[in-house]
Structure 1
Amino acid sequence: MADCVFCTIIAGGAEADVVLDEPDLLAFLDRRPVFKGHVLLVPRDHIATLPDLPAGQRDGFLAAAQRLSSAVVDGLGAQGSFVAMNNVVSQSVPHLHLHVVPRTKGDGLRGFFWPRTRYAAGESADYAARLRAALEAS
């Protein structure tokens, strides 16, 4: 879809710090992360919500989410992760996307209040490279 920012990223029309690039999926850093290393996993096809995800893509999508959840621990030193997605309500981009947020005890994240941060110049590329290395090592 021409007006979907995630479709534009997938098509190469917008820059993103890509972490995982597979035939059916793409994962990249959120531009306004909850914590640095916050990844968005999206299907390459424009699929609006989880209920719309074809059965044949479910296992690959979840397997990639598992790998990304491990990568934030192995590649960034997080103690764990928060994995979530919205469907329609609070879905900022109407393209299915799963958030993988690195977590550490005492990081201040409470409930569903998602404060956002920003990367310093060049910092996001470093985070993406560390996550890619952790994915390649697994």
Structure 2
Amino acid sequence: MINRVVLVGRLTKDPELRYTPNGVAVTTFTLAVNRPFSNQQGEREADFIQIVVWRRPAENAANFLQKGSLAGVDGRIQTRSYENSEGRRVYVTEVIAESVQFLEPKSSHSSNQSASTSNTGGGSQNAGKGKYRKPQPDDPFAGSKPIDISDDDLPF
């Protein structure tokens, strides 16, 4: 049996980091993934997929991703159900991420945010939420010259 999911999309809101009673980190976020086709009106639609990340990758995702960040997720689909407060059975389908990749520099996304967000995280929109955001260095590739590589030189 194979249960493998690979997704690339943007976060719809900041990730939520929590800890289990045993101290295990768990982060949840929703990833908006564009569909590969347009609808009858010519508009692109997206699927909004719930992602769950555990342990150290959960802490990393919470610290370095934010609303609008481009992320890649590799994991598996899991379904579960529970009874809500009204006594109805609720079914949930989510992706349990084994790996989360940050697909753009934080500075490229932060520059698109409002002035209240900074690259150092000091004045971020998440201030006061108990999250630690490590300061990021300046772009090491800024001002560098493009490399001329022909398609024949690539290994793929």
TM-score bracket for the superposition, by shorter chain length: under 0.3
Q: TM-score, with normalisation over the residues of structure 2?
A: 0.24
- Give the structure, 1 or 2, with the largest relative contact order (CA under 8 Å, sep 6 or more): 1
Q: TM-score, with normalisation over the residues of structure 1?
A: 0.25
Structure with bigger gyration radius: 2
